[in-house]
Chains A and B, each alone.
Chain A
Amino acid sequence: MLRRSVSTCAVLAASAFLASCTTRDGASDQMTQDVETVASELDCASYYPLMDDIYGATEMRGEICVTTSGDFVNVRAFPPGTNLSVVLENWVIGGDIYLVTGSEWFVVGPRDQVESVHEVVVDSSPPTSEKPPPAAETTENARVTDCMQLVSSAVAMSITDRDIFDESLPQLEYTAPGFSELIERPSIRDVTEKLVGVDPSSPGFASQLSVIGPDVREFCRSAGG
């Protein structure tokens, strides 16, 4: 199987991802390996690693690949036991955008790209333009997902819409007690300060913001019901 000459972790090490790469556990290792295996089959002109899913209760590693023709291909990998139908619920699949899944990963993009993954990676599904029907999420997972969507989007808002954020901060603190302290953590501030002025719709913004995922998830899990 073809492999990328520069590993995702080597790229991550050049950025704020270093700590997560050096302290990851076995599941994280497997997720990173899954992403690298799948991404190595793609024709990427540039790629952007994702440290986590900042909008979901389930941990994730991923990559946004921008092909030589300018298309986006998204690779995502999750811990063992993840129900992919849940994490795929809001994804854009259909038309010219196809999906290939493995046991705990998926790749979404133009047919030729995802097909090249299916042809090489054992136990992957054929390309499809249909999403699996979403399974019910557990109550606790749904709660953490809702919390992460609120908190992560508020962190992004602190970068992109400072006026709205400042006006909203008292209510955010009421809704998510401890939020004011969370956003002042050095690990969060390092990210938000670097992203001021960066195009929020760019893959680079998504890549760097993904670093906040573990902090936000830990905050939301400990927030209780």
Chain B
Amino acid sequence: MSKSSLNKVAIAAAAVALFGAVITAAPAYASSPPDESTPPPVQVDEIAPGTPIIESNGDGVVTRGVPGCAGVAYAPIGGGYGPVSSATCAFIGSPRAIVGYTWTANAATGVPACTTGLGYSNGSPSWYGLGCGMSGAKNVVWGNVAGYQQLKAFTQNVLRATSVAWY
């Protein structure tokens, strides 16, 4: 086994131990659906080869993200809404998958934020409130979808920009 393979296994093992999630690399899922009786997830985003992937823990079971897949959402000065932030890992869902969002506002700025996260309900996109303040966490319905989680942050101070780290 190569050193890089060992590292991937070590990361995946640590992720399972800490968060109950499995990280693999694309495009493994595309060529080998997990179960013949279950329809493969609908891919809504282009997933580049080599992209780290988190697979659903199963139907109705929460799959939390991992810090190694962290994204950063910026909330610009002026009190406006920041651009959408995509996760750095893709998530491979299952028919009733539930995915977690965990976020922390930049402590250096001390500016709280409100956040919303993307999920899917009955086949259509839905935005879920993830709470406001300096940090938060919430689980949202994701379903049988393969793509990137998305989060938007809304700053609480018109005079100061801030950022939100999330996974």
Contact = CB atoms under 8 A, between A and B. Distances in A.
Q: Do A and B come from one complex?
A: yes
A74 B43 CA distance: 18
Given A150-B81, A157-B129, A167-B132, A206 B156 contact: no
A143 B41 CA distance: 31
B125 interface: yes
Interface residues of A, number: 38
Interface stretch (B17-25, B62-70, B114-122): B114-122
A96 B127 contact: no
B154 A175 contact: yes
A164 interface: yes
B133 A150 contact: no
A92 B81 contact: no
Given A92-B125, A95-B43, A167 B81 contact: no
A96 B145 CA distance: 11
A171 B138 contact: no
Given A168-B133, A174-B156, A74 B124 contact: yes
A74 B124 CA distance: 8
B156 A171 contact: yes
B38 to A, nearest CB: 11
Contacts of B44: 90-94
A153 to B, nearest CB: 4
A35 interface: no
Contact of A206 (B122, B132, B136): B122
A55 B84 CA distance: 14
Given A94-B44, A96-B42, A150-B114, A74 B123 contact: yes
Which among B132, B143, B155 has the greatest number of chain A C-beta atoms within 10 A? B132
Interface string B138-162: 1001010100000010111000000
Interface in A75-95: 90-95
B105 to A, nearest CB: 10
B42 A93 contact: yes
B71 interface: no
Interface string B26-46: 000000000000011111100
Contacts of B132: 167-168, 170-172, 175
22 contacts: A90-B44, A92-B44, A92-B124, A92-B145, A94-B43, A95-B43, A96-B42, A108-B124, A143-B80, A150-B127, A150-B154, A153-B128, A154-B129, A161-B131, A164-B138, A167-B133, A168-B133, A171-B114, A171-B132, A172-B132, A200-B141, A201-B122
